[in-house]
């Protein structure tokens, strides 16, 4: 571990004390015996006190000489000798103990790991199958994947991103199955990150993907270890990040966001049926509001006479156009969804249920919206939540407003133009060079639905 470039111990210690002055959790220990002395400097809020006491302080007084103590420290795989003051300070801030012994400066990793209990998945629920989710500790997450994927082909590469946050990342992949062009492109984009603070996996997705202004995610975030393992077995790459309970999966295609882990557990026909239900829900949540506007304002002759009269009777007391009615109710629904997310869990469910009932009933009785509109908004809200990956459901929530605007100005013609434009947009998207839609077609034709995930 020794290097040719030697850092002057006394000079480095004074520099370190100067840099860390006025920091309350800095701990300095002077160890002395008949053979010599050693000086320890570390952040007690970042270091494990048991590791420091057992591996450094107790050992110092048990070993006979300073040379043996130095050899003991160097025997740890996590020990290193810093080349310069910046490396010394950077490692101290992430949980290393600086050890000044004789004329040497050594670092020993003693980071305090606060690994919480493994919780069940909260955003990707399944009816059957494993229910554990990733934690905010990167070592625990690594253990959960290795426990499921026991082969030496599973490779891991460590990186740090964020100039200030120094967030740790682990890139995981199966060496025999991964697309190396995707792997190299990922490393290149991560190395080019210039952001100061990285705190969530979503930020990695936002900073590494092109174009920046997108409606749909091209990387998948998952909290399920079984989904991460499944994707690694299919040749994809997972990026684990410290301090977050989500893992990035790439490249991702459109079909991945409509696949739940239930599809792999159920019998194939049932899995196909469930996926078909999600695509139907996608169509309803995007198209139903805009079709309502088009049929009521531009093309009522397309519907059967009874349905047209039913809608017209329902809207008899509504004083404004159907587009305003749709946007008014959809925004009210968005407010309720946001409130349910931001409110404390103890009151969110009651508040949103009561708010929704009162809002819908009062608006209908006051003649502000029609009865049909209430049914439509409820259907749109339910179908939007059928999409299993939250990142995609957020993009879908925005997309339906684009279609409402098109139908408001152009009717059915605007909707058709919107569908064509949406398909062209999705076709133009790439996830690390892989077509967003084309891969879906190839996988379906060659190997069936089992290959998507």
pLDDT digits (tens, 9 = 90+) for 41-57: 998 888 888 888 988 88
Say if residue 449's pLDDT is above 50.
no
At 67-94, the pLDDT tens digits run 888 889 999 888 888 888 888 888 888 8
- Is 259 inside a domain boundary? no
Same-domain check for residues 314 and 361? yes
- Is 331 inside a domain boundary? yes
pLDDT value, residue 445: 46
Say if residue 133's pLDDT is above 50.
yes
Same-domain check for residues 230 and 371? no
Q: Which residue range forms the structural domain that includes residue 391?
A: 266-435
- Is 444 inside a domain boundary? no
- Is 441 inside a domain boundary? no
Gap between the Cα atoms of 248 and 261, Å rounded: 16
Same-domain check for residues 37 and 104? yes
pLDDT value, residue 5: 56
What pTM did the predictor assign? Answer: 0.79
Lowest mean pLDDT: which of 33-37, 72-76, 230-234, 328-332?
Answer: 33-37
Q: Return the SS3 of 68.
A: helix
Same-domain check for residues 126 and 16? no
Same-domain check for residues 195 and 47? no
Same-domain check for residues 187 and 282? no
At 378-404, the pLDDT tens digits run 888 888 888 888 888 888 989 999 999
- Confidence label for 439 from pLDDT (cuts 50, 70 and 90): low
Mean pLDDT of 124-130: 81
Among the candidates 45, 77, 109, a domain finishes at 109
Spacing of C-alpha 282 from chain mean position = 22
- Is 366 inside a domain boundary? yes
At 189-205, the pLDDT tens digits run 888 888 888 888 878 88
Gap between the Cα atoms of 329 and 373, Å rounded: 8
Look at the chain and report how many structural domains it folds into.
3
Same-domain check for residues 84 and 164? no
pLDDT value, residue 451: 38
- Is 239 inside a domain boundary? yes
Buried b / exposed e over 45-72, threshold 16 CB at 10 Å, is: ebbbeebbeebbeeebeebeebeebbeb
DSSP code, position 255: G
Among the candidates 109, 132, 151, a domain finishes at 109
Mean pLDDT of 11-19: 85
Among the candidates 109, 135, 158, a domain finishes at 109
- Confidence label for 260 from pLDDT (cuts 50, 70 and 90): confident
CB-based contact 14:20 (threshold 8 Å) = no
CB-based contact 261:372 (threshold 8 Å) = no
pLDDT value, residue 298: 84
Buried b / exposed e over 328-358, threshold 16 CB at 10 Å, is: bbbebbeebeeebeeeeeeeeeeebeeebee
Gap between the Cα atoms of 80 and 82, Å rounded: 6
Same-domain check for residues 228 and 279? no
Same-domain check for residues 71 and 153? no
Say if residue 448's pLDDT is above 50.
no
- Is 80 inside a domain boundary? yes
Same-domain check for residues 396 and 282? yes
Q: Using CB atoms within 10 A of its CB, is residue 87 exposed (0-12), middle (13-18) or buried (19+)?
A: middle
- Is 168 inside a domain boundary? yes
Same-domain check for residues 178 and 275? no
pLDDT value, residue 447: 46
Same-domain check for residues 104 and 132? no
């Amino acid at each position: 571990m020794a290097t040719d470039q030697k850092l002057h111990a006394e000079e480095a210690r004074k520099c370190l004390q100067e840099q860390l002055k006025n920091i309350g959790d800095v701990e300095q220990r002077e160890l002395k015996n008949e053979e010599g002395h050693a000086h320890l400097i570390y952040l007690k809020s970042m270091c494990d006190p048991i590791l420091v006491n057992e591996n450094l302080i107790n050992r110092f007084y048990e070993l006979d000489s300073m040379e043996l103590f130095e050899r003991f420290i160097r025997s740890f795989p996590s020990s290193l000798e810093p080349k310069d003051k910046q490396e010394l300070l950077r490692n101290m801030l992430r949980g290393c103990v600086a050890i000044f012994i004789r004329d040497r400066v050594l670092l020993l990793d003693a980071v305090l790991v606060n690994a919480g209990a493994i919780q069940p998945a909260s955003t990707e629920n399944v009816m059957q199958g494993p229910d554990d989710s990733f934690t905010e500790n990167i070592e625990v997450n690594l253990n959960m994947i290795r426990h499921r994927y026991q082969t030496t082909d599973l490779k891991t590469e460590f990186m740090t991103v964020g100039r200030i946050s120094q967030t740790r990342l682990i890139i995981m992949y199966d060496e025999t199955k991964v697309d190396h062009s995707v792997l190299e492109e990922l490393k290149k984009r991560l190395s080019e990150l210039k952001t100061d603070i990285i705190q969530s996996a979503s930020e990695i997705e936002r900073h590494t993907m092109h174009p920046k202004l997108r409606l749909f995610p091209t990387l998948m975030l998952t909290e399920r270890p079984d989904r991460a393992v499944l994707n690694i077995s299919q040749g994809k790459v997972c990026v684990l990040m410290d301090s977050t309970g989500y893992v990035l999966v790439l490249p991702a295609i459109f079909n991945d966001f409509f696949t739940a882990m239930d599809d792999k557990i159920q019998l194939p026909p049932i899995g196909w049926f469930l996926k078909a239900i999600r695509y139907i829900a996608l169509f309803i949540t995007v198209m139903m509001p805009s079709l309502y506007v088009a049929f009521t304002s531009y093309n009522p002759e397309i519907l059967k006479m009874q349905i047209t009269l039913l809608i017209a009777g329902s809207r008899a007391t509504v004083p404004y156009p159907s587009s305003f009615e749709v946007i008014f109710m959809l925004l009210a629904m968005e407010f309720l969804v946001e409130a349910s997310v931001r409110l404390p869990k103890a009151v969110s469910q009651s508040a949103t249920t009561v708010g929704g009932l009162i809002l819908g009933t009062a608006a209908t009785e006051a003649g502000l919206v029609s009865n049909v509109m209430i049914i439509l908004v409820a259907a749109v809200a339910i179908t939007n939540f059928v999409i299993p990956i939250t990142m995609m459901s957020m993009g879908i929530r925005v997309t339906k407003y684009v279609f409402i605007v098109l139908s408001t100005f152009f009717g059915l013609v605007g909707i058709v133009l919107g569908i064509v434009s949406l398909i062209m947009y999705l076709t133009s998207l790439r996830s690390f060079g892989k077509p967003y839609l084309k891969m879906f077609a190839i996988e379906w034709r060659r190997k069936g639905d089992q290959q998507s995930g």
